[in-house]
Amino acid sequence: MSIVVSDTSPLRAFAFLDELPLLSEWFGEVLVPPAVAKELNDPRWGDVALDVGLIPFVRVQAPTDAARVGALRRHLHQGESEAIALAIEIRAELLLVDERDARRVAKASGLRTIGVLGLLLRAKSLGRIDAVEPRIRRLREELGFFVSDALVAEVLRNAGE
């Protein structure tokens, strides 16, 4: 199994869609730093709390390089900073992250990234879900998941929808 670190949005989105088992199936274990666990357990924007302690395949692990987290924190949120720092430290094969600036910083640090839409495309290509579009629509309308119309169009084209 891969060593995978996740930021908040992929876990929140897949929990919302009731598709968390896919992440377990693909990755075995998913690591999250404490700031991500806190964001999931105690959301700021009225989202439903997601207790990572109740997700058997998610394990909380703190990054050890506080200086790296601090440097990343100048440009990113705490959860993204900790997730990137942790992924670098443990040489994660994949970082689950959606926010554009965080993805840019992660890629510049040599990390491979995938976000919610990429994971949904993967699920469809593997025959684990029948369609991407209704899930994206639900995420946007019900969860307030921000994604540009242009990116949605590209993803749907890639999904053959």
**59-115 tens-digit pLDDT:** 999 999 999 999 999 999 999 999 999 999 999 999 999 999 999 999 999 999 999
The secondary structure element, H or E, covering residue 141 is: none
Residue 72 lies inside a defined structural domain of this protein: yes
Range with the poorest average pLDDT among 82-91, 114-123, 144-153: 144-153
CA gap 71, 24 in Å, rounded: 31
Q: Which two tokens stand for residue 77?
A: 């949120």
Q: How many residues does the chain have?
A: 161
The total of structural domains in the chain comes to 1
CATH value at residue 42: 3.40.50.1010
The model's pLDDT over 11-56, given as tens digits with 9 standing for 90+, comes to 999 999 999 999 999 998 999 999 999 999 987 766 778 899 899 9
SS3 99: coil
Residue 66 lies inside a defined structural domain of this protein: yes
Domain hosting residue 73, numbered range:
4-117
Residue 19 lies inside a defined structural domain of this protein: yes
> Which residues, at least 6 apart from 2, have a Cβ–Cβ distance to it below 8 Å?
26, 27, 28, 92, 93, 94
Residue 51 lies inside a defined structural domain of this protein: yes
Q: How far apart are the first and last CA of the chain?
A: 30
Hey, what amino acid is at 70?
G
Residue 157 lies inside a defined structural domain of this protein: no
Residue 129 lies inside a defined structural domain of this protein: no
Residue 109 lies inside a defined structural domain of this protein: yes
Contact 72, 64 (CB under 8 A): no
Q: Where are the alpha helices (DSSP H) in 3-159?
A: 8-16, 20-27, 34-41, 66-73, 78-89, 100-108, 116-125, 133-138, 149-159
Residue 159 lies inside a defined structural domain of this protein: no
- Residue 1 C-beta-side C-alpha neighbours within 13 Å: 13
